[in-house]
Amino acid sequence: MKPVKILGNGDMKSKIDITATVFSKSAKEKIEKAGGTATVL
């Protein structure tokens, strides 16, 4: 599996739960602020 980095561009309006190899700081903050979870593999 290739590494995938989730970036924090744009607005997060929906709760999502996502698993990836890397999250930018802003992506993790936006996901959690919207009520979702950011899980690192």
The pLDDT, as a whole number, for residue 8 is 94
Instruction: Read off the pLDDT of each residue in 24-41 and give the average, rounded to a whole number.
Output: 97
The pLDDT, as a whole number, for residue 14 is 94
Instruction: Read off the pLDDT of each residue in 16-34 and give the average, rounded to a whole number.
Output: 97
Strand partners, 23: 6
H or E, element range at 38: strand 37-40
The pLDDT, as a whole number, for residue 2 is 86
Please give the backbone phi and psi of residue 4, each rounded to the nearest 5 degrees, phi first.
-125, 130
Instruction: Read off the pLDDT of each residue in 11-27 and give the average, rounded to a whole number.
Output: 95
The pLDDT, as a whole number, for residue 20 is 96
